[in-house]
Amino acid sequence: MPHEILIATESDLRQAVSLDLETVTTVEDAFKVLASGTVVMPPILSMAIEAANGEVDVKTAYIPGFDGFAIKVSPGFFDNPKLGLPSLNGLMILFSAKTGLVDALFLDNGYLTDIRTAAAGAVAAKHLAPASVRTAGVFGTGAQARLQIEAAHLVRPFERVLVWGRDTAKAADCAADIAARLGIEARAEADPEKVVAGSELVVTTTSARAPILKEEWLHPGLHVTAMGSDQGEKNEIEPGALAAADLYVCDRATQCETLGELRSALAAGMWNKGTPPELGAVVTGTHPGRQNDEAVTICDLTGTGAQDTAIATLAHKICSARGVGSKMAV
Amino acid sequence: MPHEILIATESDLRQAVSLDLETVTTVEDAFKVLASGTVVMPPILSMAIEAANGEVDVKTAYIPGFDGFAIKVSPGFFDNPKLGLPSLNGLMILFSAKTGLVDALFLDNGYLTDIRTAAAGAVAAKHLAPASVRTAGVFGTGAQARLQIEAAHLVRPFERVLVWGRDTAKAADCAADIAARLGIEARAEADPEKVVAGSELVVTTTSARAPILKEEWLHPGLHVTAMGSDQGEKNEIEPGALAAADLYVCDRATQCETLGELRSALAAGMWNKGTPPELGAVVTGTHPGRQNDEAVTICDLTGTGAQDTAIATLAHKICSARGVGSKMAV
């Protein structure tokens, strides 16, 4: 018996799904349910294809209360730029959580991942950053540097952005893009310590394999969201910083232990506070969040299948309502 | 930069890909490479959705020498028949092994899985069954009962088929289908022992959770392919039979230990011959296969991602050559 599925391409999805408060709320809801312990989220399936300097990850999660569950496939082939192709690609498939039938194919080339990743940064900033943020800093100059700042600005409308990157020209470009996009002041800052010193909110978005944000730079009233590390070799935050902060929060503790900043801290013997609280627990209030304006908080984001299910569900809702994408009988 | 992908539906694929010797050879090639130790095949990602009596499995494998790798998503939602829907569904995605870009989407509702599963049965029969098979037996009356017999007949053109199932009416239907399809004699047999006694080749295709083929029924010149068990609770072959056979072969030893007949034999303490040989090693000749017409052989098939990559690669080749399916710029 054929049934109809929705197929949406990257350009369809760019038209339909934006980084806005609805998106942030959808991802926030996913973290809430994640905290309830009822989400089913298997370990990430990961395969390396060394011959092509490539890898592919598959993530999924079932969130009770969501009509569907997404399976996301994210290939990363790091020689692609030599061929004029982007390194990162991929697609999401949304299945009915009632029947397992395919509801939608999102041929997004990673766009929905970009959006749901940035939205998680906004959830972290909303619940952990000081109530008032005048200056936000960002480490890194790529797509997530721009999107994380845009997302954080939805929940903390700061006036100024400081951008640090290894490549100062790219940092200047990134700052110019941010300034144009948000209509606020943004500039490159060559000294990462000054970025942290001058900011109440810092987002690290790099693929660093050695710390770029030092423990001694932590200052009262700082929140750091570290979203760059999503693999066992990556590390942006000096290991001692996690325990030195008043509150360190994981998106998913089991993932952060192997893929996030927590891995480096554990490996260095610098974390001895047991299993850290998760972002969802802070969102729902089962774990206390920021206690006062002077607290130092750190949130470690490795990316969860729950976010994928959330963004795919939202994309399906919007595309269906607006008639975006095409239908196919399968 | 948009690129073009192929999208093929189940009806496209039924038109393009058949259970024939080309298909069997493609799957046989995958087993050969699997035996070489160069295949990258991560553990299956599996997620249960208990609220809907559902589960979803994701399999993949990279086979050196194949241009692409498949990721297969197989949902099984076992309350679907109440809704008039099939329990099993799913799709395969073929990615370029050079760039990670999507080459093709096969919205096959499990058709390619049916074909590659049956083709593996043919590979097992080709390399392990006695050279001359006059009668083949099958346990089970579903789609795989029909397809496994059809596949085995490609490599052992037997004259007669005996079908056993718990439901005798279904067994009679299955036998009638086989007779019509292959133009040979086929009949239901109510006594499973008689099926085994009268056959040189037996394929078990059930979801049994307790043995239905007894050790004492093994007789000289018998080959058994057990393909029903693909989960930790399933078991078709009496545990002692594996060690009692002259040769017991796994499609993938690590999978059979947890999902196949080997699991039950290990749990019962009835297997003490170490890591069993794999089908690919028999195909390539690195492990001896059947030694003589009197030997008893058993092959345990749990289903491998390598088969999925093989069948998806073949489907892509055929669809592209014949212009089957549609193209989409993504």
Contact B99 A52 (CB under 8 A): yes
- Is residue A262 within 8 A of residue A256, CB to CB? The reply is yes
- Is residue A172 within 8 A of residue A188, CB to CB? The reply is yes
Q: Which of B44, B58, B62 sits opposite A71 (nearest CB)?
A: B58
Nearest CA in chain A to B78: A99
Mean of pLDDT values over B83-108: 95
Residue A71: its chain B contacts at CB < 8 A? 56, 58, 73
Confidence of residue A229 (pLDDT cuts 50, 70, 90): confident
Our CA-based measurement puts residue A48 at a distance from the nearest CA of chain B, in whole angstroms, of: 7
Q: Which of A7, A45, A109 sits opposite B58 (nearest CB)?
A: A45
For A125-140, the pLDDT digits (tens) are 999 999 999 999 999 9
DSSP state of A57: E
Q: Which of B9, B47, B85 sits opposite A1 (nearest CB)?
A: B85
A70 lies in the same domain as A139: no
Residue B40: its chain A contacts at CB < 8 A? 47-49
Tokens of A250: 């994981």
Q: Which of B42, B47, B328 sits opposite A62 (nearest CB)?
A: B47
Confidence of residue B3 (pLDDT cuts 50, 70, 90): confident
A56 bridge partner residues: A47, A75
Q: Does A239 touch chain B (CB under 8 A)?
A: no
Q: Does B39 touch chain A (CB under 8 A)?
A: no
Provide the pLDDT for residue B232: 84
What's the number of domains chain A is made of?
2
A31 lies in the same domain as A150: no
CATH number for the domain that contains residue B43:
3.30.1780.10
B12 lies in the same domain as B108: yes
CATH number for the domain that contains residue A189:
3.40.50.720
Residue A81: its chain B contacts at CB < 8 A? none
A144 lies in the same domain as A285: yes
Mean of pLDDT values over B95-123: 96
Q: Rounded CA gap, A59 and B89, in Å?
A: 19
Confidence of residue A1 (pLDDT cuts 50, 70, 90): low
Our CA-based measurement puts residue A10 at a distance from the nearest CA of chain B, in whole angstroms, of: 6
A91 lies in the same domain as A144: no
Nearest CA in chain B to A50: B40
Host domain of residue B266: 120-303
A183 lies in the same domain as A198: yes
Our CA-based measurement puts residue B250 at a distance from the nearest CA of chain A, in whole angstroms, of: 23
Contact A98 B71 (CB under 8 A): no
Alpha-carbon distance values, B94 to A53, A106, B89, B106 (Å): 18, 15, 17, 8
Contact B102 A105 (CB under 8 A): no
Q: Which of A5, A58, A91 sits opposite B58 (nearest CB)?
A: A58
Average pLDDT, chain B: 96
DSSP state of A278: B
A177 lies in the same domain as A315: no
Average pLDDT, chain A: 96
Q: Does A169 touch chain B (CB under 8 A)?
A: no
Q: To which H or E segment does residue A224 belong?
A: strand A223-226
Confidence of residue B229 (pLDDT cuts 50, 70, 90): confident
Mean of pLDDT values over A242-261: 96
pLDDT at B1 over 70: no
B148 lies in the same domain as B282: yes
Provide the pLDDT for residue B330: 86
A62 lies in the same domain as A176: no
For A190-218, the pLDDT digits (tens) are 999 999 999 999 999 999 999 999 999 99
Provide the pLDDT for residue A231: 82
Q: Does A62 touch chain B (CB under 8 A)?
A: yes
Mean of pLDDT values over B138-158: 97
pLDDT at A3 over 90: no
Q: Does A69 touch chain B (CB under 8 A)?
A: yes
Alpha-carbon distance values, A109 to A44, A295, B2, B103, B314 (Å): 19, 39, 10, 13, 25
B104 lies in the same domain as B131: no
Tokens of B136: 């083949």
Our CA-based measurement puts residue A330 at a distance from the nearest CA of chain B, in whole angstroms, of: 5
Query: Which residues in chain B (91-130) have CB-CB distances under 8 A to chain A?
Result: 91, 93, 95, 97-102, 105, 107, 109
Q: Which of B5, B48, B100 sits opposite A54 (nearest CB)?
A: B100
| ipTM confidence score | 0.86
Closest Cα partner for B303 from B66, B10, B6, B74?
Answer: B74
A206 lies in the same domain as A320: no
A274 lies in the same domain as A314: no
Our CA-based measurement puts residue B106 at a distance from the nearest CA of chain A, in whole angstroms, of: 10
